[in-house]
């Protein structure tokens, strides 16, 4: 299976160059958990072209973490184009952290730029519990509560979730932590499976739930 994954943009401190970067954590995670699948880093193109995506013949698009929305317009434009291409070509999408946020924005949702201020609850470099609030996901995970990591201060509150998306995981004080699209094979997860040690089984089950839809095609 061909899995395309977007990359963060960093500014190299010595020369000021903008560079694409994919954490080795992602490579290690997929090598360990999905060894038969091929992970393809997607460059942050300035010129957006469907032909490039077509040549990749992707089975799954992953929108990765890193960079706040609005920090680098080049990445924002690339990922919005990638979502549009994937939706138009029936390619499943999973968004993690920032990827979760840009999916919600793409479908008309709203991002809160300071979750800690809005909820009086820290969400950066901590672990916390989330409640699984959707019956299908409770059955899938066989749990109503899981413990996840958290590395975000931007986030999505209940009233900011797109009408096209439905929450399956919510943390304390109404912060959305996981959602799915009601009609398309799209899922968003606010935490980081590539960094997590607490819910590795649950992470794999969630990702498998999208991959299994690909295998049934």
- Which CA distances in Å does 148 have to 24, 41, 94, 130? 20, 25, 17, 7
**Domain spans in the chain, listed from the N-terminal domain onward:** 2-215
Taking the complete model, does pTM exceed 0.85, yes or no? yes
Label residue 193 by pLDDT band (50, 70, 90): very high
Please determine, looking at this structure, whether the domain spanning 2-215 carries the CATH number 2.60.120.560.
no
pLDDT, greater one: 6 or 45: 6
- Please tell me the predicted confidence (pLDDT) of residue 95: 98
Residue 152 has pLDDT above 70, yes or no: no
Residue pair 37/210 in contact (Cβ under 8 Å)? The answer is no
Please give the mean pLDDT across all residues of the chain.
Answer: 90
């Amino acid at each position: 299976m061909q899995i395309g994954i977007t990359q963060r943009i960093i500014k190299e401190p010595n020369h000021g160059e903008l560079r694409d970067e994919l954490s080795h954590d992602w490579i290690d995670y997929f090598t360990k958990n999905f060894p038969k699948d091929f992970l393809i880093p997607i460059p942050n193109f300035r010129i957006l072209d469907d032909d490039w995506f077509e040549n990749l013949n992707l089975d799954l698009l992953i929108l990765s973490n890193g960079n706040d929305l609005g920090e680098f317009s080049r990445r924002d434009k690339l990922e919005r184009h990638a979502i549009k291409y994937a939706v138009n070509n029936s390619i499943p999408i999973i968004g993690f952290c920032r990827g979760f946020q840009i999916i919600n924005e793409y479908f008309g949702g709203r991002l809160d730029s300071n979750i800690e201020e809005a909820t009086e609850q820290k969400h950066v470099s901590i672990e916390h519990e989330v409640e699984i609030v959707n019956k299908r996901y409770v059955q899938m995970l066989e749990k109503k509560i899981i413990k996840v990591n958290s590395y975000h201060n931007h986030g999505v509150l209940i009233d900011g979730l797109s009408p096209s998306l439905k929450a399956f995981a919510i943390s304390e004080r109404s912060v959305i932590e996981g959602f799915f699209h009601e009609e398309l094979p799209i899922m968003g997860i606010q935490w980081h499976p590539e960094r997590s040690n607490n819910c590795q089984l649950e992470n794999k089950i969630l990702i498998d739930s999208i991959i299994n839809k690909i295998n049934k095609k």
